[in-house]
Amino acid sequence: MSVQIAGPVSLNVLVVDDEINIRKTLAMGLEAQGHNVVAVSNAADAVSEASRQAFDLAFVDLRLGATQGMDLIPQLLALGSWLRVVIITAHGSIDNAVETMRRGAVDYLTKPFTPAQVKLVTERVARLRALEQQVAGLEGALQGRTPIELFRSNNTAMQRTMILAQQVAKTETTVLLRGESGTGKGILAQAMHAWSARAAKAFTTIACPSLSMQLLESELFGHVRGAFTGAVRDNPGRIASSDGGTLFLDEIGDLPLALQPKLLRFVQDRKFERVGEARTRTADVRLITATNIDLDRAVAAGRFREDLLYRIKVVQLDLPPLRERPEDVMDLAEEFLVELRRNSAVTGFTPQAADALKAYAWPGNIRELRNVIERAMILCQGEEIGIEHLPANFAQSVQSIEQVEVGDRVSLDKLEETHIRRVLAKSKSLDDAATTLGIDLATLWRRRKKYGI
C-alpha cells in the first residue's frame, strides 16, 4: 500500500499587533491564502482568544505597548498543543532573534516584510501541520489494526450493522456501539474513523473502567500543572489531542456519574475546561462510544444520565455475539490463521477441530476466538490444527456429543442438546440449522441459550 504525504492545510491564525494597519494588512493577506484569522491588539486579548479556540500559527509583534511580545510566547504555547509562534518586529537584532527562538518561536520576520515572506512562513507551517495530522491519524490506526475482513459476515444481523456503520461513518453524528465484551466494538470504531472525512487526523481511545475518577477526568479534559498532587506538567487531555479527529470512549457505562454532566456539556457545545483551570476551551471532535451493558437500565437505576444517553446514541449499532454468528466462525478462524501465521507451517484445521470451533458457545466472542487460534498455532507442530491443540473443554464437549446416541440412558434434554450442537456444527447459518431442526429462529435462540451453545 502506498502512503501519500498530506498537502498543506487551512490554518487557524492569530495576529497580535498594536498597529491597526499591520493587523488589517496581515489578516487580509492570510485570508486570501485560505486561512482563518483572528486579529487582536494586545496580549490580554491574545491570551483570551487562545484560551477559547485552538490556533495553529500566531504572528506576534515584539513590542505591544507596555508588554513585550517575547513574554507572550510561553503563554500562547501553554494554551495550544500545536501552536507555532512567529515574531514580527521593526526592531530586529540577532540577540532578539536568538531570545525569541529560545522561548519557543519558530521564526522571526522584520518589518517591513513582504507578502511573499508571510506566504513562505505560512506554507511551511501548513505543511508541517498536515504532516502532524497524518502522523496522528497513522498512530491512531496503529493502536489496533482494523482489518475489514473481521466485518465480512454471512450473518444477516451483522450485515445490517455493517451497512449502517459505513453510512453513519461519513456523517458527524455521535454513535453508540453496543455489544458484549470481545465482539469488536473498538475495532469497528477505528474502522468508522478510517471511513470518515477525519481519517487523516487523530483517533484516540479512553477505556472508562481503567482509570479512577480523578485520572479519568484529567485524561479526558486535561489538567494544568499543580492542579493536583503529581500534576508536574500541563496535560492537554485526549479531547484536545483529538481536535479534528475522533475520540472513542470504551465502556461508557462505567463513566462516573460526577463526570457525566461535563461530558454532556462537551457533546452539546464542544466546550470544556481543563482540571485546575477556569478558561473555557473548544475542540472539534467526533465522539464514538461503546458499552456492553443496557444503558436504559442504568438510567432507570440512576447510574447514567438520561440526557447524556440521548446525546451519545443518536445512532446505535448493535454487534451480535459470536454464538449468534456460527456461520462466521470458520471464516474468522481462517483470517486469524493468516494474520498470526508468521513462520508457522499451519495451514488449516482438521474436520474435528472445525466442528468443535463451530459448536462452541464463545462467551468471549471474537477476542476469545483469536486467543484460541493463537494458542493452537503455538502448540501445533504440523500443518493442521487438531482437537488436541484446542483447550480441554473443546475436546470434552465434542467427546460428550460424539458419545451420546439415540437410545442411550440419557435425558431428553441431553439428546436435544447433542442434536442441536451437531446440526449447528454442520450448518452454514442459523437459518439453515433452524430449517433442519424444523423450528423457527426464535425457538432455536431459546434452545441455544438454555444449553449454553
- 351-379 pLDDT, tens digit per residue, is 889 888 987 888 889 999 999 999 999 99
Q: Which of 277, 304, 320 is the last residue of a domain?
A: 320
- pLDDT 10s digits, 54-110: 788 999 988 887 777 888 888 888 777 678 899 888 776 677 777 778 788 888 888
Grid coordinates of 390: 484446542
Q: What is the DSSP letter of 358?
A: H
User: Strand locations in 141-201, DSSP E?
Assistant: 175-178
Distance CA 231, CA 224 (A): 7
> Is there a single domain that holds both residue 62 and residue 211?
no
pLDDT of residue 169: 94
Retrieve residue 416's grid coordinates: 436435544
Residues 390, 260: Cα–Cα separation, whole Å: 43
In a domain, 330, yes or no: yes
**Residue 86 is part of a domain; what is its CATH number?**
3.40.50.2300
Measured distance CA(355)–CA(258) in Å, rounded: 49
- pLDDT of 315 above 70: yes
The mean pLDDT of 245-267, rounded to a whole number, is 95
Query: Residue 149 — pLDDT band, cuts 50, 70, 90?
Result: low
Same domain, 313 and 328: no
Q: How far is CA 144 from CA 204, 250, 289, 450, in A?
A: 11, 14, 16, 35
Place of cell 487438531: 386
Q: What is the pLDDT of residue 410?
A: 63
Q: Return the SS3 of 65.
A: coil
Q: What is the reported pTM?
A: 0.62
Report the alpha-carbon angle 125-126-129, nearest 5.
85
424 compared with 149, residue with greater pLDDT: 424
Q: Are residues 277 and 175 in the same domain?
A: yes
**Mean pLDDT within 193-201:** 90
Q: Is residue 4 part of a domain?
A: no
pLDDT tier at 204 (50, 70, 90 boundaries)? very high
Query: What's the domain range around 356?
Result: 323-451
Residue 135 belongs to a domain? no
Sign of CA dihedral 194, 195, 200, 202: negative
* Domain identity same for 308 and 170: yes
Q: Is residue 7 part of a domain?
A: no
Question: Do 434 and 331 have their domain in common?
Answer: yes
CA angle 363, 368, 392 (to 5 degrees): 85
Q: Does residue 149 share a domain with residue 83?
A: no
Q: Which residue has the cell 465480512?
A: 152
CATH number of the domain bearing residue 429? 1.10.8.60
Helix (H, G, I), strand (E, B) or coil at 68: strand
Judged against a pLDDT cut of 70, whether residue 5 lies above it is answered with no
Average pLDDT of span 271-287: 91
Same domain, 121 and 52: yes
- pLDDT surpassing 70 at residue 3: no
Q: Are residues 314 and 327 in the same domain?
A: no
Domain annotation covers residue 416: yes
428 lies in some domain = yes
Cα separation, 372 vs 360, whole angstroms: 12
Task: Report whether pLDDT(135) > 70.
Answer: no
DSSP code, position 452? T
Task: Among 285, 320, 355, identify where a domain stops.
Answer: 320
| Nearest one of 280, 219, 224 to 75, comparing CA atoms | 224
Q: Does any domain span residue 3?
A: no
Q: What angle do CA 122, 127, 129 make, to 5 degrees?
A: 90
- Cα angle 263-269-273, degrees, rounded to a multiple of 5: 55
Measure the CA–CA gap between 62 and 71, rounded to whole angstroms: 9
Tell me the pLDDT band of 177, cut-offs 50, 70 and 90: very high
* 226 and 106 fall within a common domain: no
Domain endpoint, select from 99, 130, 161 = 130
CA distance linking residue 313 with residue 167, whole number of Å: 15
Q: Which of 5-14, 57-66, 266-275, 336-345 has the lowest mean pLDDT?
A: 5-14
Cα 290 to Cα 206: distance, rounded to the nearest angstrom: 11
